[in-house]
Structures are given as structure tokens and as C-alpha cells.
Copies of this chain bind each other. A is one copy, B any other.
Amino acid sequence: MTAAGRRIVCFGELLLRLTAPGRELLLQSPRLDVVIGGAEANVAVGLASLGHATAMVSRVPANALGEAAIGYLRRYGVDASAVTTGPGRMGLYFLSPGAGLRASEIVYDREASSFAQSTAGDFDWDRLLEGAALFHISGITPALGPQSAEMAIAAAEAAAARGVPISFDGNYRAQLWQRWPSDPRTILTQLVGKADILFGNHRDISLLLGAEFSGDGEGRRREASEAAFAAFPRLRLIASTARHVVDADTHRIAARIDSREGAAQTEEVAVSGIVDRIGGGDAFAAGILHGVQSGRDLDWTVRAGLAVTALKHSLPGDASLFAPRDIDAFLAGELDVRR
């Protein structure tokens, strides 16, 4: 619970998630369960739960919804003092959780949010990044629109200028980029070009480099990573998961991390009895960054990333709320009741 060391700064939109209860379709019965989400906030909460000092930078409306988002971050130990309020709405999304052979379905309702209406000038990065150990951002922010793209690039530039290492999670969402006349490759290339750590697989790297990678599984991933290391000289680590979706309740997941010198790869684990699949990627990022920031080696780090994402699938809500002892229990294979 105690957060140690210099803080990790996460930047992105906070969202309210409204979920149909009991595996129902949206509004099949007249109730919604509410959690707070947002890819970068999920990473912040995941890292805070793992004992890291973290801070969120974002913008919400000055109403009960924005206050709830701020209160949520604080509850889980994230410094929310840099979540400011501004004009615009709270971004929302509605979720029908899937089951069996029925996929989960999301209805986004994030237009005109306070965050999407923010501009680069709204954030004083010199102050916000002071004493930062790491800056985490994702590919969702630049996808929100031209001024958000500009804002994301400005933030990354500020971090790079101050020597704060950057972690970037691709989180490519085609339908966000398609809502405006965007050039994702150009924009994302600027961001990845400043990043030290990239969360993304061979498909993300293909998109960035305009190249295809042949072969299967691990070989193709290494090939893609090497191409990325070649293209982006600052890049130090690339982490990704390979997910096989058996059905909505069971996925098989393996994790991999590549450095310039080597790589570590886990066995595939069967994640069954899935309770909540949303935020699985953010939990993976939190687990990997926990290993990196704790100075662990690639092998432990990739297994910790797998542990946190696997555990996340068992937990309602967007974020992973696990402590280091939960990673230990996972790695030790403790599966029966802990008394």
C-alpha cells in the first residue's frame, strides 16, 4: 500500500463505464453498474495498487460525474491533484458483458468530453513532470481528434525534453481514428519515436512501419521488435500479449517482452471463468511497468505482466487492484482458498 520512489505520471481520458448487470444486454433490466475507466487511468490504478507512487493528469467536468472519477483515483492511491475541471461532458461508455459464444459489446459515448476539448496549452508539463520517474500515455488520446493528437505530442515532447522516460501503449482503435480525417501512422510515429517502452505487437508495429512480418508466433514478434528497435532509436523495451479467444469466458494468453539484447516469453495460460475482460491490456502494462520500475529482469517482468493481466480477467471493473503478494501467489500457483 505504501508507494515508494519517484512517481509515475499517466496522462489520458477518464471515462465512466456503465455496465449491464448479470450478463444482460444493455437495459434489458433497468439498472447499470458504474465503474471508472480509461486506459491510462487503469494503468495508474494498477501501478498504485502495486505500490508505486502514481499521478494522473486529465480533465473532467465540474460535476458529480467528474468528482466521482477523481474520488475513484484517490481511493486507489493515485494522486489526482492534476485532474482539473473544464468545460465539456464526462466521457462515458456502455458495456454489455459477453458470455459464452456472445461477445461483449461497447457503445461509446465520449463525444465532446472535457478531455477531448482540452488543448496542449491546458497542461503545464514542466510542473506536472517534475520529479517524474516515468510518463505513460497511450494511442487513444491522439485518436480523439486533431487537437488531442497535438496535445499528446506536446506532452511526449515535454517528457522527452526533461529526460523523463516514456511508456507508450499503442491501443489502436480504428473506429476512433476514422471519425476524423486522420493520419494515424504519422501521428503515432512521432509518439513512438519518443518512447522508451512500447506496448504493442507485430500488428501495431506493421501499422507504424508499413511493413508486414511473416512467420508465426514468437519468430514474427521478434522480427517486428527488431524492426521497431531499428526504426526508433530511443526504444528500449517492447511488450505484448498473444491472446486466443476461445469464447467470452475463456481466453488463452501468453506474454512476451523484447529488449534490444534479448527477450522473455511465457507459456500460454488458460484464463477461464472470465469475470471482466475490459482493461486486460492496461493491467498487462501495469504488471510490466511494475517489473521494470522495480528493476526486475525480463523473465520475471514478463511473468508479472502475465500475472496481472490474468488476474485482472477475474475482477469486475476496468482496473487491476492487485498487490505484489497477489503476483507472488499467482507465480506460485496458489489457486485454492487463501485463509
Spell out A's residues near B (CB within 8 Å). Answer: 1, 18, 22-35, 63-65, 67-68, 70-72, 74-77, 85, 89-90, 92, 94, 96, 98-109, 111-112, 173, 175, 243, 245-250, 269-275, 277-278, 310-311, 313-317, 321, 326, 329-330, 334-339
Contacts and interface: CB of A to CB of B under 8 A. Distances in A.
A21 to B, nearest CB: 8
A111 B89 contact: yes
Number of identical monomers bound together in the oligomeric complex: 6
Contact of A28 (B32, B316, B336): B316
Contact of A314 (B85, B102, B250): B102
A112 B113 CA distance: 11
A100 B27 contact: no
A65 B26 CA distance: 7
A231 to B, nearest CB: 28
Nearest to A71: B75
Contact of A247 (B90, B106, B317, B335): B335
A-B interface, 6 closest residue pairs, ranked by CB to CB distance from nearest = A249-B273, A27-B68, A102-B314, A75-B75, A99-B314, A26-B64
A303 to B, nearest CB: 13
